[in-house]
């Protein structure tokens, strides 16, 4: 078995910064809550909730962003600030093709390029196309809208996806909650297996009375890791009803995506992706999208949402407790082997991603193939 030692920087909490520049990236302390990861895709909005001809205002990494769907159904994203006198474009009108600023009526296409300045008269020669609101790469994948935050847009990485859904029809539903902590704390909690019997102690899921030693194999995978496919413990009613022919695979991808799918006799019947999107230094949006593949069962969406919201609500409650303790800016022991190792890997992955982008080189996954053991 191999595990990774704790980084000294993990015990420190310092002022939040943007992703480190190449000149200082290698000296950057990989501390908790110190900087945001850029040049990567972030979950922005559930696709089902954004109709054609509509827009929604979001804040991602402290940046105001306008997300919309044009009249043809294509999604787009631009900075939610008029470059004229800073009024949010989300406060104006959108006709399905152009966004109009409510201050002076300036119009912008969905690519952010200015198309009209009403105050200009006929003989005033001015190229309005030179004026642009910053546009962001925007994709809709598996019914979810993602926005790329960063300046390395020439060679975009793949958008994270929920696993096990290739060539399978599915229903889906997304639950959204706000977590009152920096994404680093939220991510460490998201992939920490030791908290489950305490935070998620429920009659329909798991209890501290059923604590057992676990041993799982982890392998480096893409820009994260994968816990290889295995039979889940029979701790929940669902698993007990289905029996021993069920398998699960759990994985993690940057910037903060926990993915899991369940298969029965080799066919996926349930998949999910939990995504963390930093709003600012002290707030992170948690979105969990559930996919299920049983035909004719779209009507169970409210039931799925109920249990997901109950489950994630327990995470939100513990995060609110954590926020109280963080006010005193304590020194923290973030990694305990072996249950804390995935959280430790997150910080290594985060720093390596920033370095690889800053140095314009391929990403080198720092995760070490390991068998991790813990009680849960």
Residue 211 sits in the same domain as residue 356: yes
pLDDT recorded at residue 14 = 34
Tell me the C-alpha to C-alpha distance, in Å, between residue 68 and each of 37, 78, 96, 151.
24, 9, 9, 21
Tell me the C-alpha to C-alpha distance, in Å, between residue 284 and each of 29, 60, 77, 304, 347.
21, 9, 20, 23, 17
Q: Classify residue 210: in a domain, yes or no.
A: yes
Residue 226 sits in the same domain as residue 261: yes
pLDDT recorded at residue 335 = 78
Residue 355 sits in the same domain as residue 262: yes
CATH number of the domain bearing residue 84 = 2.102.10.10
Residue 68 sits in the same domain as residue 209: no
Q: How far apart are CA 233 and CA 251, in angstroms?
A: 17
CATH number of the domain bearing residue 16 = 3.90.380.10
pLDDT recorded at residue 230 = 84
Which alpha helices (DSSP H) does the chain contain, by range? 22-25, 183-190, 196-199, 237-242, 301-326, 341-358
Residue 17 sits in the same domain as residue 86: no
Q: Classify residue 43: in a domain, yes or no.
A: no
Stated pTM of the model? 0.89
pLDDT recorded at residue 196 = 85
Q: How far apart are CA 37 and CA 149, in angstroms?
A: 9
Expressed as residue numbers, the domain containing 313 is: 8-37+157-375
Residue 285 sits in the same domain as residue 322: yes
* Residues in the chain with pLDDT values less than 70: 1-31, 202-209, 233-244
Number of folded domains that form the chain: 2
Residue 122 sits in the same domain as residue 179: no
CA angle 56, 187, 50 (to 5 degrees): 15
Residue 206 sits in the same domain as residue 298: yes
pLDDT recorded at residue 32 = 81
| Residue environment code for 227-257, b if the CB has 16+ CB neighbours within 10 A, otherwise e | beeeeeeebbeebeeeeeebbbbbbbbbbbb
Q: How far apart are CA 372 and CA 362, in angstroms?
A: 28
**Tokens read off for 132:** 């642009």
Residue 210 sits in the same domain as residue 351: yes
Residue 18 sits in the same domain as residue 167: yes
Nearest to 190 by CA among 269, 284, 102, 52: 284
Sign of the torsion angle spanned by Cα atoms 330, 336, 340, 342: positive
Q: Classify residue 194: in a domain, yes or no.
A: yes
Residue 91 sits in the same domain as residue 210: no
**φ/ψ (deg, to 5) at 164:** 75, 20
Question: What is the residue whose two structure tokens read 């349930």?
Answer: 270
């Amino acid at each position: 078995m191999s595990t990774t030692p704790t980084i000294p920087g993990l015990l420190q909490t310092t002022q939040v910064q943007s992703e480190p520049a190449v000149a200082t990236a290698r000296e950057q302390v990989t501390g908790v809550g110190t900087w945001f990861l850029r040049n990567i895709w972030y979950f922005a909005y559930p696709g089902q909730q954004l109709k054609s001809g509509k827009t929604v205002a979001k804040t991602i990494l402290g940046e105001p962003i306008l997300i919309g769907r044009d009249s043809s159904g294509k999604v787009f994203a631009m900075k939610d600030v008029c470059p004229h006198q800073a009024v949010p474009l989300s406060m104006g009108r959108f006709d399905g093709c152009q966004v109009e600023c409510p201050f002076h009526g300036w119009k912008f296409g969905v690519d952010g390029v200015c198309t009209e300045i009403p105050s200009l008269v006929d003989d005033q020669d001015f190229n309005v196309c030179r004026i642009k609101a910053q546009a962001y790469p925007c994709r809709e994948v598996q019914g979810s809208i993602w926005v790329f935050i960063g300046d390395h847009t020439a060679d975009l990485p793949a958008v994270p996806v929920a696993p096990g859904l290739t060539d399978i029809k599915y229903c889906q539903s997304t639950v959204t909650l706000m977590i009152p902590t920096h994404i680093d704390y939220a991510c460490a909690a998201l992939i920490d297996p030791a908290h489950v019997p305490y935070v998620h102690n429920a009659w329909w899921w798991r209890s501290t009375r059923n604590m057992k030693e676990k041993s799982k194999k982890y392998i480096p995978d893409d820009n994260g890791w994968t816990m290889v496919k295995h039979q889940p413990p029979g701790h929940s009613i669902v698993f007990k009803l289905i029996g021993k022919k069920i398998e699960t695979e759990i994985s993690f991808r940057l910037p903060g995506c926990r993915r899991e799918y369940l298969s029965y006799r080799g066919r996926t019947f349930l998949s999910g992706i939990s995504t963390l999107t930093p709003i600012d230094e002290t707030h992170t949006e948690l979105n969990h999208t559930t996919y299920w593949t049983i035909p004719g069962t779209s009507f169970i969406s409210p039931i799925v949402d109920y249990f997901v919201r109950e489950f994630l609500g327990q995470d939100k409650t513990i995060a609110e407790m954590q926020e109280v303790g963080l006010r005193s800016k304590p020194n923290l022991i973030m990694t305990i082997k072996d249950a804390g190792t995935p959280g430790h890997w997150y910080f290594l992955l985060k720093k390596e991603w920033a370095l690889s982008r800053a140095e314009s080189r391929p990403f080198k996954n720092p995760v070490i193939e390991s068998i991790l053991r813990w009680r849960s």
